[in-house]
Amino acid sequence: MGGIETSLPLPTVIVTSVIRSSYQGQSHGGVYLVDLASKESRVVLDWNECGIGWDGRGGDRGLRGVVFWNGQVYLAASNEIVVYDSDFTLLRSFRNAYLGHCHEIFIAGNELFLTSCGFDSILRYDLRGQHFTAGYCVRSAPAVRVAAKGASRALRKLGRAQWYSHPRLQYFDPHEPGGPKPGDTRHVNSVTYRDEGVYFAGTNLANLYHIIGETVSVHAPIPIGTHNAQPFDGGVLMNDTVGDRVSYRDRQGRVNVEFPVTSYQPHQLRNGDLPRDHARQAFARGLALWKDRYVIAGSAPATVSVHDLATGETCCSVNLSMDVRNAIHGLEIWRYPS
């Protein structure tokens, strides 16, 4: 472990990780609490579930999105949401027929919004009533079955046109048949809710989109391959994962501020000789905003960095593991500094 020193009072964050290219019987992710002030971290949950899919690089592995509600921790585990108390004792879990390869999740009030990459969809869940209330499918290209070994090749065959084609919105009842067929054409991996509606993005989309009522509109252009895109201060904040940077841009796509992702010398890395499409360093994913000024972002090998939007400087960086396979996914503020 290590980090850039700073005198700034910093919060403790919770992060989830996915260990790409791991094998059955090995840990394939977990949950850390990271005290950014002391640069100390601890593993509070090691995810080694065996009943998962083992095709591909990430697949079902690891824990992904993380949010809090009513003193409970909600974690996305592919096709299931697992709920823990604040001491990380398992309370319950729940699923849905249209929940597949869930990545980011988001809480607004008493509602949970979930991305479902495996169905090109977003699901809405009532936390008080503990039931799903709505589904939004955002698809405009032919569905590709996620489970098929040739899925990645099929996606490439769809071509660049799919990235720029406007997705069609289909509402569906998450409890009834007749909803979307399995397929991951957009890789819808981020969702945010504001008073004016739902925002979503995906690695196969060239825009951050906005759902209001029956319409889908473009909020702002984003680079292909982006993670954690969300509206912020009249523009969009994101991990430009392909560009190895954290970026804040205006609604025309012009850069306001951006930060290079923390990277290391090759000799410092473990498993650094894996193919880049299996695991690579500087893979940026996981993002939280603190005080509307500081962007806390994750990357691989498991690293958490704090960037100052006002000065354009990176003021803190803490490394949890030098294993290049260990990639941060979900990231939220756990405790604010006293």
Enclosing domain of residue 41: 2-302+317-335
Residue found by looking up tokens 């569906």 in the block: 172
pLDDT tens figures, 250-308: 999 999 999 999 999 888 888 655 555 556 888 999 999 999 999 999 999 999 999 99
Residue 151 has pLDDT above 50, yes or no: no
- Alpha-carbon span 219 to 210, nearest angstrom: 6
Structural domain contains residue 309: no
Structural domain contains residue 307: no
Residue 148 has pLDDT above 50, yes or no: no
Structural domain contains residue 283: yes
Structural domain contains residue 234: yes
Q: What is the pTM of this model?
A: 0.87
Among 77-81, 144-148, 245-249, 315-319, which stretch is predicted with the lowest mean pLDDT?
Answer: 144-148
Structural domain contains residue 312: no
Q: Please give the C-alpha separations between residue 168 and each of 2, 30, 116, 210, 240, in angstroms, as whole numbers.
A: 46, 35, 16, 12, 25
- What is the CATH number for 296? 2.120.10
- Alpha-carbon span 261 to 98, nearest angstrom: 34
Count how many domains the chain has. 1
Confidence of residue 182 (pLDDT cuts 50, 70, 90): very high
